[in-house]
Structure 1
Amino acid sequence: MQAANADQAEIDKFEADAHQWWNPDGPYAPLHAINPLRCRYVLEQTGGLAGKTVLDVGCGGGLLTEAMAAEQARVTGIDLATDSLAVARAHAADGQLTIDYQAISAEALAETSAGQWDVVTCMEMLEHVPDPASVVDACARLVRPGGSVFFSTINRTTRAWLLAVVAAERLLRVLPRGTHDASAFIRPAELSRWCRAAGLRVADLTGLHYNPITGAHTLGADTRVNYLCHAIKGHPE
């Protein structure tokens, strides 16, 4: 049996604060702040999610998962952090949202359910696993031909280290210290290469920006820190 592509220490970090997933002022406050932008990006790039099957890989407590379900998508969320999944299930039930949450890795699910989803999202996860290229490949197998895969991660630049680690974790303390390992950040060229190898065509790369003075998050062309990637399965004729 293939070992799960997971770092238990990383899972434990998220499990320690699982009860705080839906606290907008807690350790996941930055995810609450960017969640509307992430969802809007997926909606704009796909032309809407109503009636589509969507898989959220590394769903955590369900922030993006619920936002996409609210757009009338049929959503499945997967994660290996069982406490986070318990929080996600309870919150969805409170909101009367029908979401299928499963404790399984993307690679394992791809073995049994390839090509089952119109859209696959994998946000803020790649930098937390030992083999991110394996997750990219699994996402490509899970989406149907012509379907969309979305990733978001952090660029491996000095600017990203200064903002995501030094500023966010050590100075401003908007993230728990140790949330990120800068050596695991991923350059857009690397992600694009993994996408091509998995049969995905990168359709868009967009930066996600944070203004520490105003506290505003915006989307734009600069991908030097956080960025989003939209890829499509299969190549144009």
Structure 2
Amino acid sequence: MNTHVNADPAELAKFSDLAHRWWDRESEFRPLHQINPLRLEWINGICPVQGLKTVDVGCGGGILTDSLARKGAQALGIDLSTKALRVAQLHAMEAQTPNVSYREVSAEALAEEAPAQFDMVTCMEMLEHVPDPASIVKACATLVKPGGWVFFSTLNRSAKSFLLAIVGAEYVLNMLPRGTHEYAKMVRPNELASYCRGAELDLRHTKGMSYNPLTKRYWLNSDTSVNYLIATQRPMA
């Protein structure tokens, strides 16, 4: 049994302190609320979620998990932040979201407990916050059934990403709390692709995401230099 927890205590504390603001659309989590419809539709266009058993790894306050459930999935959200999970559960009760549940468990521990039990796995904006992203990718690959889909989104480690996601978003525009992201922890697309190949996940689709600070609008495109999403599939046995 692997007792090592792949999490940075400082990262958990950082997001725990903000937990009560997860569902305030004008708070530090506003960008997550804005990009959620985009990534949800992209995911649903590739793998329609209606009736699927899904797990959202690193779910935080449940923004994506909740919307997956509202799309018809049987959605589980997992995280290691007790406060964020309480907020997610409270929101689900208040909003009367059907077929959604939350657990405080690591991806690796759940993978040992429930291998190949999910039709789809999502892991959004998390890999850049953990000490060992390859371990998370491997756990996601273990959790999904053969033929099932695994979706990731993260930040590229590039000069443009440093300027826009850290200097711009955290220090100039104040869209995010200062210190939200560490440049050294960002994951280049070729690194993530390597982790996926090592976990025997086949890369199927890649998308970039851009933001215009004047119009305050996000959109999906082919530019993966800052934010990007990838869709992978576990091969049939």
* TM norm structure 1: 0.97
Task: For residue 174 of structure 2, give the secondary structure of its aligned residue in structure 1.
Answer: coil
Corresponding position of 2:165: 164
Corresponding position of 1:217: 218
User: Counterparts in 2 of 1:78-117, with a 5 A limit?
Assistant: 78-97=78-97, 98-117=99-118
- Aligned: 1:37 with 2:42: no
Alpha-carbon distance, 1:7 to partner: 0.2
Alpha-carbon distance, 1:95 to partner: 1.4
Task: For residue 166 of structure 2, give the secondary structure of its aligned residue in structure 1.
Answer: helix
Letter in 2 for 1:31: L
Q: Deviations over 1:80-129 (max 9, x none)?
A: 00000000001001111231200000000000100000000000000000
Task: Give the Cα separation in 1 of the matches to 2:132 and 2:235.
Answer: 23
Q: Which runs of 5+ in 2 are unaligned?
A: none
- Aligned: 1:154 with 2:155: yes
- Aligned: 1:53 with 2:53: yes
Aligned residues: 235
Task: For residue 214 of structure 1, give the secondary structure of its aligned residue in structure 2.
Answer: coil
Corresponding position of 2:16: 15
Q: Which runs of 4+ in 1 moved over 6 A?
A: none
RMSD: 1.0
Corresponding position of 2:3: 2
Task: Give the Cα separation in 2 of the matches to 1:201 and 1:228.
Answer: 14
Task: Give the Cα separation in 2 of the matches to 1:94 and 1:199.
Answer: 40
Task: Give the Cα separation in 1 of the matches to 2:33 and 2:49.
Answer: 20
Task: For residue 66 of structure 1, give the secondary structure of its aligned residue in structure 2.
Answer: helix
Letter in 2 for 1:82: T
Task: Give the Cα separation in 1 of the matches to 2:17 and 2:90.
Answer: 17
Task: Give the Cα separation in 2 of the matches to 1:96 and 1:86.
Answer: 15
Corresponding position of 1:184: 185
Q: Which runs of 5+ in 1 are unaligned?
A: none
Alpha-carbon distance, 1:41 to partner: 1.0
Alpha-carbon distance, 1:38 to partner: 1.2
Letter in 2 for 1:189: N
Task: Give the Cα separation in 2 of the matches to 1:225 and 1:55.
Answer: 25
Task: Give the Cα separation in 2 of the matches to 1:49 and 1:148.
Answer: 10
Task: Give the Cα separation in 2 of the matches to 1:215 and 1:100.
Answer: 32
Task: Give the Cα separation in 1 of the matches to 2:235 and 2:161.
Answer: 31
Q: Deviations over 1:131-170 (max 9, x none)?
A: 0000000000000001000000000100000000000000
